[in-house]
Structure 1
C-alpha cells in the first residue's frame, strides 16, 4: 500500500508540474472571453431586447467561425445532435453581448432546409471558408443530418455562395469522392487565387477503420478527386485517447476522429493538417496535390511531420505572416507553430475554455475561436438551458483588448 501511495503521489506531482509548465508556457499572450451566449436564436430582436432563444438551442452548438473583410462573423451550427435547427450556416451579430447568439440564416432559411432538394440546400455544415478575395463563401456540406445513417444522393457537396446576394455561384458534387455512409467531411481550406479547395474527410462514421482522405476541388472544372485514401498520416493513432479537462472524451465509446483541421500557408504553397485522435501536425506542398498525375505514393513521400502538438487538436488557421495556430482541446488553448524556426509552443490557455474548436483571424489580425463544449453536447450531457456558446479572442501582437 505504501508503494501504491508513493506512486499516486508521484503521479499527482508530475501532473501538477506539467500543469504549471503549461500555464507558464501560456503566459505570453492575453486570452479573453470575448462573447458568451446562452444558446442561439434566429428570431429578430424587438425594441432592443434579447430575442427569444431557439427552443432546441442545446442541440445547435456553434462550431465553425470565419470573418469577411469587414469583420462580419459567419458561423456553422452542424446538425449532428439534431436536425431541427432552422439553419446550419448563419451570420452572427457579434455586437450583441447578452442573451442568445443572434443568427441570420445564410443564404436564407429556405437555403438551409433539410427537406429541400439535397443537392441544392445546405443540410449539415461544419467546415466552411469565407473567400475575401472573390467575395464568396465555400460551404462544405457533410450531406447527412442527425438520425440518418447515409447521406442522400447529391447531398455531399461544396456550395460556393456569393457573400452579398447569397446566390449559388457554383455547386460541386462530392458523392464520387466521398462515401455516403462512412465519410465525415470535416473542414475546408481554399486557395483563393487559384480557386482550389482542399477538404479533410475524417471518416468518423466508419470508425474504427476510418475512411480518411483528402479531397481536392477545382472551381474552374467543377471536378473533385480524392487522394491519400486511408493513409496513416491522416488516420487516428493507435492507443491515443482524446482528453479534455483532464478526462477522456466519451470513455467506453472513444472519440475516433482522423484528419480534422486543415489550413493553407498565405502563399497557398503548403497545406497543413492535424488529427484529433492523434498527437502530431503535418504538411505537404500543394504543388504535388494540384498535379493530377501525382500518385498517392508521390504525395505521401512529400508529407512532412512537423512534430508533436502537445495535446489533442481540432481546428487550425494561419496568419498573414505564415504562423500556424492550432486549437488544443487537451490544454484548453492555442498552440503556435512557426515554419521558420520549426518551433511548436502553447501560447495561451485558460481553464474556462470548453473544447476550443475553430480559430479564425479578424481583419485587424486578432485570433478568435469558438468554444462550445462540443464533446459534451455530442454526448448528450448538457442540459437544456445550461448551454453556453463562446468566442474567445487572442491579440497576436500581445496588446490588451477592450471589451468590444
Structure 2
C-alpha cells in the first residue's frame, strides 16, 4: 500500500512538473490591441462559395475560376485532402488514388501565372516526408515533385504556406515551426531543386508574447499551459516580384525583403536581416495576398476580418463578419474577387473528430475589395 501511494505521488509530481514545463515553454501571452475598424464591404458583399463537412485549409483560384482547396490537417481528415469544387461538389484532385499516394498533410496552395497548382505538404510536422508538388491545370498532371531533406525541413517543422515568383521558378515557403519553435523561410529554386533555409529564429519570424483571442475561445490548451503562438505564417510576393512580404502570426509587424537578396546564396542570415524593412503594424494574422497595386491583404484571426495594408503601411478594414470563425488563406480569382478560406481553427485545434464534425460545415467565402490581384495569389 505504501509503495502504491509513493507511486501515485510520483506520477502526480511528474505531471505537475511536465505541466509547468509546458507552461514555461509554450504558455503565457498578453491580449493584443485591436486594429480592426468599420469594414468597407457590407455583410451582404461576403458570398459563400462552398461548404464542406471537414475544416478548410487554404484556397487557390485559377485565372479561369477553378477553385481548389485543402482539408486542414488539424481536422484529422480521413479522405482526400486536396479537392476541386466542381458543379456544386468537392472532387478529389487529382484523382482519388493519386491524391492519396501523392499527399500526406497538404495545406498551402497557390496557382502561378503559368496555370500550375503548387501544393506544400508538411509531412505531418516533418515526421513524414515534407514535399512540394505542382500540377499542370491544363493537363491535370503532376509536373513537379520534390521531397525536402531533414536539413531544410527538420522534424518539428511545419511547412504550411507558399508563394511563387512571377517567373514561376522561385518558391517561397513559410515554416511556422510551432512545436520546434524555430520558424524560418525556405527559398526553393524549382529549376535546380536547391533549397535555402534562412532567417531561422530571427526576431521577424519568431512569435511575440501575445494570446490569440476569438469570440469562440482563447487559443490556449491543456488547461492554459500551452498558448498557440505561431511564428512565420503568411507570405506574399508583390506584383513585380521584387519583394517578399511576410509576417509571423503572433507578431505586431509586417516585413518585406528583396527577393534578389533571398536569391543570393552568398548572403548570410545576418546580411539578410540588414535588408529587412518593417512595413507597419498588423493584426494577429494568418494568410496574406498582394494586389496589382502593391497593397497587402491581411487576415485578422481574432476578429473575423481582412484588412488591407497600403504600401505606406496604413490599414483599412475591408470585410468583417461574425460568420468568419478564423480568417485563414487568401486567393485572388478573376473579376476582382478575393477568396477567403475559413478554417474555423478555434473549433478544430486539438478537438476530437466528433466535435469537429458537429461544428461543420466549413466554408470558403469571397468578396470584392475594389482592386484586382493576380489569380491564385
Map 1:295-306 to 2 at 5 A.
295-306=268-279
Q: Which runs of 4 or more aligned residues in structure 1 lie more than 6 Å from their structure 2 counterparts after TM superposition?
A: none
Shift of 1:228: 0.9
Aligned counterpart, 2:6: none
How many equivalent residue pairs?
A: 334
Shift of 1:295: 1.1
Aligned counterpart, 1:195: 169
SS in 2 for 1:63: strand
Aligned counterpart, 1:8: none
Per-residue displacement from partner, 1:186-217 (whole Å, max 9, x unpaired)? Answer: 100100315110000000131xxx12110011
Matched, 1:333 2:305: yes
Map 1:353-392 to 2 at 5 A.
353-380=324-351, 382-392=355-365
Aligned counterpart, 2:9: none
TM-score by length of 2: 0.82
**Quick one: distance in 2 between partners of 1:216 and 1:179?**
12
**Quick one: distance in 2 between partners of 1:224 and 1:179?**
10
Matched, 1:220 2:191: yes
**Quick one: distance in 1 between partners of 2:299 and 2:343?**
13
Q: Which runs of 5+ in 1 are unaligned?
A: 1-14, 41-56, 97-101, 399-404
TM-score by length of 1: 0.77
Map 1:2-401 to 2 at 5 A.
22=36, 25-31=37-43, 32-35=45-48, 40=52, 57=53, 60-85=54-79, 87-93=80-86, 96=88, 102-113=89-100, 116=101, 121-131=102-112, 133-144=113-124, 151-152=127-128, 155-206=129-180, 210-237=181-208, 239-245=209-215, 247-251=217-221, 252=224, 253-309=226-282, 311-339=283-311, 341-380=312-351, 382-397=355-370
The structure with more helix, counted as a fraction of residues: 2
Contact kept, 8 Å, 1:90 with 1:103, in 2: the verdict is: yes
Contact kept, 8 Å, 2:126 with 2:158, in 1: the verdict is: no
**Quick one: distance in 2 between partners of 1:92 and 1:250?**
33
Q: Which has the higher contact order (CA 8 A, sep 6+)?
A: 2
SS in 2 for 1:248: coil
Per the alignment, do residues 150 and 184 of structure 1 end up closer, same or farther by CA in structure 2, a change over 3 Å counting? closer
**Quick one: distance in 2 between partners of 1:158 and 1:91?**
18
Contact kept, 8 Å, 2:347 with 2:359, in 1: the verdict is: no
Task: Pick which of 190-199 and 389-398 moved more.
Answer: 389-398
Per-residue displacement from partner, 1:166-205 (whole Å, max 9, x unpaired)? Answer: 3221222212443442101010010031511000000013
Task: Pick which of 171-180 and 313-322 moved more.
Answer: 171-180
Shift of 1:36: 6.6
Shift of 1:388: 2.4
Contact kept, 8 Å, 2:49 with 2:366, in 1: the verdict is: no
Contact kept, 8 Å, 1:159 with 1:168, in 2: the verdict is: yes
RMSD: 2.3
Aligned counterpart, 2:21: none
Contact kept, 8 Å, 1:366 with 1:395, in 2: the verdict is: yes
**Quick one: distance in 2 between partners of 1:27 and 1:79?**
31
Contact kept, 8 Å, 1:181 with 1:205, in 2: the verdict is: no
SS in 2 for 1:316: strand
Q: Which runs of 5+ in 2 are unaligned?
A: 1-30, 372-377
